[in-house]
Amino acid sequence: MGHGFLPVSRQDMIKQGIEELDFVYVIGDAYVDHPSFGHAIISRVLEARGYHVGIISQPDWRDENSIAILGRPRLAFLISGGNMDSMVNHYYVSGKRRSADAYTPGGVCGKRPDHAVVVYGNLIRRKFKDIPVIIGGIEASLRRLAHYDYWNNALKRSVLLDSQADLISYGMGERSIVEIAEALESGIDIKDICFIPGTVYKTKDISGITGAAQDEYNAVILPSYKEMVHTPEKYAQSFGIQYQNTDPFTGRTLVEEYPQGVYVVQNPPQKPLSTVEMDDIYALPYERSYHPSYEEKGGVPALTEVKFSLISNRGCFGGCSFCALNFHQGRIVQVRSHESILREAENMTKDPDFKGYIHDVGGPTANFRHPSCEKQLKCGVCKDRQCLFPTPCPNLEADHQDYRLLLQKLRALPGVKKVFIRSGIRFDYLLADKDDSFFRELVEHHISGQLKVAPEHISEPVLKRMGKPERSVYDRFVKKYEKLNKQLGKNQFLVPYLMSSHPGSTLKEAVELAEYLRDLGYMPEQVQDFYPTPSTLSTVMYYTGIDPITGDKVYVCRNPHEKNMQRALIQYKNPKNHDLIREALLKAGREDLIGFGEKCLIRPGKREGDSVGKKEIRSKDNKKDNRSKTRFDRVGQKKNKVIRNIHQKKT
């Protein structure tokens, strides 16, 4: 346990004997002192270096005095929008407002503004005009250069300019924030702090970082903001360059020009943390709970999911096009030691609320416990290919032995009944491992009735744009999973995550996915429509219609009605979707899937069971087809019901 929460009021400062804070950290989330929350890590890292840090959580952005409750900090204000981008936190992909905010006390909505980093930055500037302001967290990190903003349907400037901040600390930020603090402490003006990896700054003079284009030490000039606004193809070109410069070993400095001679400059990323550094960060004195002032409001819902989970790793070499991890955490996997994780688990078992179940041991991808190959830690990741896509790299080291040993140690701890894995298994990496002992132990010990995996789609043109393995790989995984369950006497299901309307998906591919689900006998209860969030390959495709890596033109479904049709096809058994599915099948030229045969998705007529349908059912032959279809429906419904019951029981 920790040694007390950081100050959130003047009274706290007096109690802790602090006359003046070095940093005031403004956050869009509730104050939760747990290492699953970015603000907790950054504030504790600074505290460990001897700095006094205070927290202002969810200030009233309509009142500039709300930003001054802890006074003027000696060195700087820090800003984070929260663990999620504030716009994703607030809105569904449809644009409808969400009804709950898991990162706010009591799950209440409306406690933070849209585009929180920008609003908080301007709020500080109105109250303290000359104070250094450093922004970070996922929202600032993924908006560090010009980016497409789905909610405004426009290309927006770097958040550094719109927030009026001085610096962005992008990525995970532990190293860069310490270097920034030390530079400020030494008396360096914030405008002169332009040399720290993992930061973005603004300037009007780039003469010192540019030169001959072939010089690997000189900056790369990206297309200007003006060019990108007028020519979306230029944005695709720019993003392709950014994508190839996210590695700390090979990444170049990037420069983006704005009007009035302003340049936004991105330094290369920070180097990955060593295991010792990771261990030190997770050993800091976190309280591992939300601030006690939230108790009367019902606590902070987001803590429930992570309170009894263990973070094992960072970084992901999976390379999914719709994921921003490549831009935020990077592709190089960084891990904690077994000893560090076991110490945390042992402390967890002493918590009065612990019931014997560790909910998760993982990270962005649970079964990535070491870099994909040895050369990454010396030379960085490859610029011209992915580790797993389209097929595993010949240099890939697929090995689960370290992870398997860690899980065995956790299972053996006194007080631990079960250790689950919920943060996601990369199934193609699992199959690439010639030793299936981890796969067997996964099925035997670490599944709560159902295993969630993410094939996302099954159509090859869509999988290609997603950066996901071909369908045959997932089919092999399913067969092996079922075989192991049978051998071990288990009755555990697979729950596949599926996505509709991803760039590259036409109605043809959406129908192909529906047919796959029909043959599988499974209908997902929830479907994720593609959500264009900042700084992903898929979002650039959505905005420009171009694959920024290959330069290929890509079909993009932007029409809300077509989006509804693609989503409805995945849930074709739902009677409410009948009209949309019928329209989609007719547009796709697949009338053969409308009828009473076992392969049909829907029956004829306007709605299932209407007068037209009833008349045709009276046909003797169609009665037989309809009985087959009904039996098929019942099997699927029974399977879905079993999955729900198991999930509810385990939960």
Tokens in use for 510?
Answer: 């959406």
Tokens in use for 304?
Answer: 């429930």
Q: How far apart are CA 482 and CA 13, in angstroms?
A: 58
Residue 173 Cα to chain centre, angstroms: 17
> Is 405 within 8 Å of 335 (Cβ atoms)?
no
Query: Any known ligand binding at 393?
Result: no
> Is 649 within 8 Å of 357 (Cβ atoms)?
no
Sign for the pseudo-dihedral over CA of 465, 471, 477, 478: positive
Query: Any known ligand binding at 320?
Result: yes
Q: Which residues of 389-414 are buried (b: 16+ CB within 10 A; e: fewer)?
A: beebbeebebbbeebbebbebbeeee
Residue 312 Cα to chain centre, angstroms: 16
Tokens in use for 128?
Answer: 């303290």
Cis peptide before 548 (omega within 30 of 0): no
The packing angle between helices 507-520 and 578-587, to 10°, is 120
Q: What are the two backbone dihedrals, phi and then psi, of residue 556, each rounded to the nearest 5 degrees?
A: -130, 125
At which residue do the structure tokens 């591992």 appear?
Answer: 288
User: Strands 493-500 and 528-529: what pairing?
Assistant: parallel
3-state secondary structure of 202: strand
Using CB atoms within 10 Å of the CB of residue 233, give its burial: 0 to 12 exposed, 13 to 18 middle, 19+ buried. Answer: middle
Q: Where are the beta strands (DSSP E) in 137-173?
A: 147-149, 154-156, 167-169
From 115, 191, 120, select the one nearest 147 (Cα to Cα): 115
At which residue do the structure tokens 């930055």 appear?
Answer: 121
The packing angle between helices 338-349 and 275-282, to 10°, is 20
> Is 361 within 8 Å of 341 (Cβ atoms)?
yes
Query: Any known ligand binding at 382?
Result: no
Q: How far apart are CA 325 and CA 382, in angstroms?
A: 16
3-state secondary structure of 450: strand
Measured between alpha carbons, how far is residue 461 from residues 475, 551, 554 in Å? 17, 15, 10
Tokens in use for 411?
Answer: 């299972």
From 416, 428, 503, select the one nearest 473 (Cα to Cα): 428
Q: Which residues carry a binding-site annotation? A: 316, 320, 323
Q: Which residues carry a binding-site annotation for [4Fe-4S] cluster? A: 316, 320, 323
